[in-house]
Amino acid sequence: MNLSAPTMPIFLVSLILAVLAVLSAKFLSIPVVSGNEFWVAVLAYIVLLVGNVAKGL
């Protein structure tokens, strides 16, 4: 399996999801994220993983 760097949009989506999960867990109450912080963080890393594994994403 060859890994490649994710494109900037994929990286930014992953970063935004991770930041939302942390902010919701520690500081803010974000309606969609609150109560699901763990799964939003997992989704962020899955997006980043797909961006690394799939060529051209």
6, 52 Cβ separation under 8 angstroms: yes
Reading phi first (left if > 0) and then psi (alpha if -120 to 50, else beta), residue 56 is in left
CA–CA separation, 26 and 13 (whole Å): 20
Instruction: Identify the pLDDT of residue 3.
Output: 87
Token digits of residue 7: 């494109």
Token digits of residue 6: 């994710």
pLDDT tens digits for range 6-52: 999 999 999 999 999 999 988 888 888 888 899 999 999 999 999 99
